[in-house]
Every structure is written in C-alpha cells, then in structure tokens.
Amino acid sequence: MSNVETICALSTAPGIGGIAVIRVSGPQALEICDKILNKKISTKDSHTANHAWVLVEQEKLDEVVATVFKSPKSFTGEDTVEIACHGSVFIQQKIIEALLYAGAQLAKPGEFTMRAYLNGKMDLSQAEAVADLIASEGAAEHKQALHQMRGGFSKEINTLRDRLIHFASMVELELDFAEEDVEFANRAQLVKLLHEIMGVVNALIESFSLGNALKNGVPVAIIGAPNAGKSTLLNALLNEERAIVSEIAGTTRDTIEDYITLGGIKFKFIDTAGLRTTNDAIEKLGIERAYDKAKSASAILLMFDVNTTSAAELAAMRADVMEQAGQGKHIIVLANKVDHPDFDKANFEKQFADVKHLIFISAKNKLHMAELKEELMNTVNAGRVNSGQTIVTNLRHHEALTKAAQSLNEILIGTENNVSADLLAVDIRKTLYHLGEITGQINADDLLNNIFSKFCIGK
Ligand code: GDP
C-alpha cells in the first residue's frame, strides 16, 4: 500500500451550496489533514466528527467539521477524512489547493469508488455500470443488458491477464537463470498470445464508440429537402408537438434535438435544416450544420416526399449526403407521404427498387413506424447490446485498454527484436498493470505465487 497516493476531491455537487464535502482518502489522509487543520485529527478515534479550522498560510479560512474514518471502515477501505466546509466555491477551491500542497493528489473520476472496489468494499461491476450508464429514463431491459456487459467484461479481462501472467512468470524465471541462457518462455507462443490478446483488446476499444453512444444517446440525423416531412416524423416519433411543422419551405432553420428510447436504447434525433440551394445566410448556416450533424451521427434518416421526387433526384441527394457525411454511414431512406392520394404503391416500389434500406412511410399518419424503429435498432447493432457481448462504456476503461494496447505493441516489437528477458518483463508488467487497472490491482506477489505454484525449483 505504500506507493498508493492519497487523493482528494469535492464529493458534493460542484457550485455553491449550504455546505460542501471534500473527501480525502489514502494512507496519508490523516497526516495531510493534520497539516491544514488547526488541530490533530490523526489522534482522533474512527467515526468521530471533529470541529476544526482550516488554516491557509496560518490564516483561518473556514470553520469545518472533519469526520474521520479509519481503514478499513470507510467507503474506500482506506483512511478517509470528510471535510464539511461552508459551500462557497472559493472555500472549496482553497481547501483543495491546501490539500494538494500538503501532499494529496486530485482524485480521478470515479477513483474513490474504484478504490472501494479494489479494497473489496463493493462490486465495481455494479457500481461503475450503474453510475456510468443508466440514464434515469433507461428501460429495465437496458439496465439488464448493461449489467451483463460489465460482468462479461471483468471475466474477459481476467482471462487475458491470467494468460499473460503465466508468460510473465516464465520470463521472470529466465532472469533467475540469466547465466545459463535458458528460454522458459517460448517466444513464438508469446507472439501468438500477444496477437490474440491484441485482437480482444482492440475489439473492446472499438466497442467504446458504441458504448459511448449508448450512454449519451445514439445520434441520428434526419435529413431531407424542405417539406419532406422531417419535423412531422420527429413529432411522430416523439408523440408530441415539439418541432414546428409548417407548409412554408425552409422553416426548420436550426437543428432540434430530442431523445427517444426504443427497445431500451436511447436515441438522439436531430432534426436538421432542409437541404436545398439557398441565398439566405441564416438558412445556409443551418444547412452547413445539418451536414456537420450528419457527419457525427451514427445513422442518417434521408427523407423525401415520394410523390414529388424522382429516383434520379433521390440518387443525387443520397450521393450528396454520402459525400458530405462520409462513406460508410448507415443511411436509412424514408419515402414519405404514402398516404397521399397520388401515391401509387406498385409503381413507386418499382421506381425505387434499387434503393437500399428504403422504407415507405407516412409520418403524418404514423404508418410503418415499426419498420423504421427496427431498422434503427439494426444500426446500433442492438443484437450486440442485448446478447450481453462486452461493450466498453467507461472512459477510464477505454484509457486503460488503450494503454494496454500500446504496451502490448511494445512487447511485440521487443520480441521481434529479441530484446533481453528483463526488458520484456518490464513491458509485460506494464500491460498487466493497465489490464489490472480495470478489474483490480496486480502486484509482484501474483507473479511469484504463479511461479511457485507451477514450478518446483527446489528453493
Ligand atoms: P420538413 O420541412 O421536412 O420538416 O417538413 P414538415 O414536417 O414541416 O412537413 C411539411 C408538410 O408536409 C406539412 O404540411 C406536413 O403536414 C406535411 N406532411 C408531413 N408528413 C406527411 C405525410 O406523411 N403525409 C402527408 N400527406 N403530408 C405530410
């Protein structure tokens, strides 16, 4: 535990409040608080609330209550002090500054909870997934799917780590026999394993964009000529009159965003300005924004009035959107206004037979909305979400995986260049560390235990 940093952070909501609570946790928590308070709290019993003054450069800054929790009986399992101060932002900042000066580090997001998990205080898979993922309106199935993901994730990481630990112990064993030039860790097997692990790690890293979209709402841009029925569609999906529906072409000048949960997945619909050539400066800006939104969207609903648009016009519009939004975007084409008296089903179906992902709808009469919803679910790989396959949703996990991928690459380069066992061991440890950051700490003891459990080397 000696190299564990002591961390501090504001634990109440940022901003002005009646009081604010700053949490300090780690092996030096009591000692550090002693330095900023006018009395020693390190000598106080656990679970006591102590009146004190915070001193900054010998000056009294604020009158506070410092609650002491001694390890292991605290939220994090470490020595913890919770300083309840008056809720001015200035005071909060000054106290945090004083703590940093006295030797604490600023806590990373979720770090208190992570420590609680690492110290066996709670199940991280629940804590993190719940905190990170479940939007308040999230459906029950959503919650279940997310819960599954997290469980699967830990298991996947642990399996990779265990296999790498095995290699690490072999490589470290070579260090003990350095004089004799033996090779316990078969390099070809190591390379094979590295490729395997990289495959899994990279897939997890990739899944983050989906995970992130799930958390923030999968962005879907609704694009089409003025009067195609974009606002009407949004209203139909939302079941409320939110966007302005009008018969004057070009009314939706800016973008309107709204959230709707389909099958437990949150979508963010973005109604954009109608696409057309215009000299109106404001409208031009709106159209530019529409393309920007399309670029960052996961899916695009390209909408047209089926009664007034030819197949050639649609093809041109589709090509334009693809060019602006980037290749590989999932475009769902919506032939709107099938309720119109001019609509001739057989004829139109023939006319647009070549168009992929085309759905005939009536936004006004809410016809074929189920097909549209199904198509939307396909765009986010809903199958993957509901099958319980691992999706990384947490930024910290994503960062750890990215670092693990980098160090894996270093091991690979090292192995290819026949670097010495000690250098290899360092890189393997780095990877283990980053993987361990996700599920739990790893230390040298794990390696030693592994060596001694597998080998009788007569020591
Ligand atoms: P936007 O400019 O693309 O947002 O189009 P709006 O949603 O404002 O719709 C333009 C006009 O088309 C309005 O008068 C709507 O009532 C009408 N409209 C939209 N969808 C349909 C539809 O499915 N059928 C019919 N008949 N009219 C529609």
Residue of 364, 366, 368 to test ligand 1 pocket, by largest number of atoms within 8 Å of CB: 364
Matching residue, tokens 């670097």: 419
Tell me how far apart the alpha carbons of residues 49 and 65 are, in angstroms, rounded to a whole number.
Answer: 6
Binding pocket residue ranges, ligand 1, CB within 6 Å: 224, 226-232, 245-247, 252, 274, 336-337, 339-340, 362-364
Conformation bin of residue 66: beta by default, left when phi > 0, alpha when psi is -120 to 50:
beta
Q: Whose CA is nearest to atom 10 of ligand 1?
A: 227
Q: Whose CA is nearest to atom 9 of ligand 1?
A: 229
Tell me how far apart the alpha carbons of residues 314 and 275 are, in angstroms, rounded to a whole number.
Answer: 12
The torsion angles phi and psi of 242, rounded to 5 degrees, stand at -100, -55
Atom of ligand 1 nearest to the CA of 363: 23
Quick one: DSSP state of residue 5? Answer: P
Sign of the torsion formed by the C-alpha atoms of 103, 107, 111 and 116: positive
Burial class (CB in 10 A: 0-12, 13-18, 19+), 330: middle
pLDDT in tens, 318-328: 888 888 877 77
CB 299 within 8 A of CB 330: yes
Report the candidate in 264, 263, 255 with the shortest Cα–Cα distance to residue 220.
255
* Distance from residue 201's CA to the centre of ligand 1 (Å): 47
Atom of ligand 1 nearest to the CA of 362: 23
Residue of 223, 227, 230, 232 to test ligand 1 pocket, by largest number of atoms within 8 Å of CB: 232
CB 233 within 8 A of CB 407: no
Quick one: DSSP state of residue 155? Answer: H
> Rounded to a whole number, what is the largest CA-CA distance in the chain?
91
Tell me how far apart the alpha carbons of residues 124 and 438 are, in angstroms, rounded to a whole number.
Answer: 9
Q: Whose CA is nearest to atom 25 of ligand 1?
A: 337
Number of helices (H), then strands (E), belonging to the chain: the values are 15, 12
Residue of 222, 223, 227 to test ligand 1 pocket, by largest number of atoms within 8 Å of CB: 227
Matching residue, tokens 């009159």: 241
CB 411 within 8 A of CB 195: no
* Distance from residue 230's CA to the centre of ligand 1 (Å): 7
Pairing of strands 330-336, 299-305: parallel
* Distance from residue 364's CA to the centre of ligand 1 (Å): 7
CB 86 within 8 A of CB 19: yes
Q: What angle do CA 445, 448, 450 make, to 5 degrees?
A: 110
CB 221 within 8 A of CB 301: yes
pTM exceeding 0.75: no
* Distance from residue 228's CA to the centre of ligand 1 (Å): 6
Residue 136 to residues 131, 208, 388: CA-CA distances in angstroms?
10, 21, 21
pLDDT of residue 366: 92
Q: Whose CA is nearest to atom 21 of ligand 1?
A: 364
* Distance from residue 212's CA to the centre of ligand 1 (Å): 33
Residue of 223, 237, 245 to test ligand 1 pocket, by largest number of atoms within 8 Å of CB: 245
* Distance from residue 326's CA to the centre of ligand 1 (Å): 27
* Distance from residue 367's CA to the centre of ligand 1 (Å): 13
Burial class (CB in 10 A: 0-12, 13-18, 19+), 228: buried
Tell me how far apart the alpha carbons of residues 436 and 333 are, in angstroms, rounded to a whole number.
Answer: 45
Q: Which two tokens stand for residue 95?
A: 């106290």
pLDDT of residue 254: 54
CB 32 within 8 A of CB 102: yes
Atom of ligand 1 nearest to the CA of 225: 3
Atom of ligand 1 nearest to the CA of 249: 2
DSSP secondary structure, 249-316, as one string: TT---S-EEEEEEETTEEEEEEE-PPP-----HHHHHHHHHHHHHHHH-SEEEEEEETTT--HHHHHH
Atom of ligand 1 nearest to the CA of 245: 8
Q: Which two tokens stand for residue 19?
A: 């009081």
Task: Find all residues with CB under 8 Å of 62, minimum gap 6, and list them.
Answer: 53, 54, 85, 86, 91, 94, 95
Quickly count: other Cβ atoms within 10 Å of residue 47's Cβ.
11
Task: Find all residues with CB under 8 Å of 184, minimum gap 6, and list them.
Answer: 170, 171, 173, 174, 177
Q: Whose CA is nearest to atom 15 of ligand 1?
A: 229
Residues of the chain with pLDDT under 50: 1, 125-126, 130-141, 143-145, 147-149, 240-253, 442-444, 447-459
CB 203 within 8 A of CB 157: no
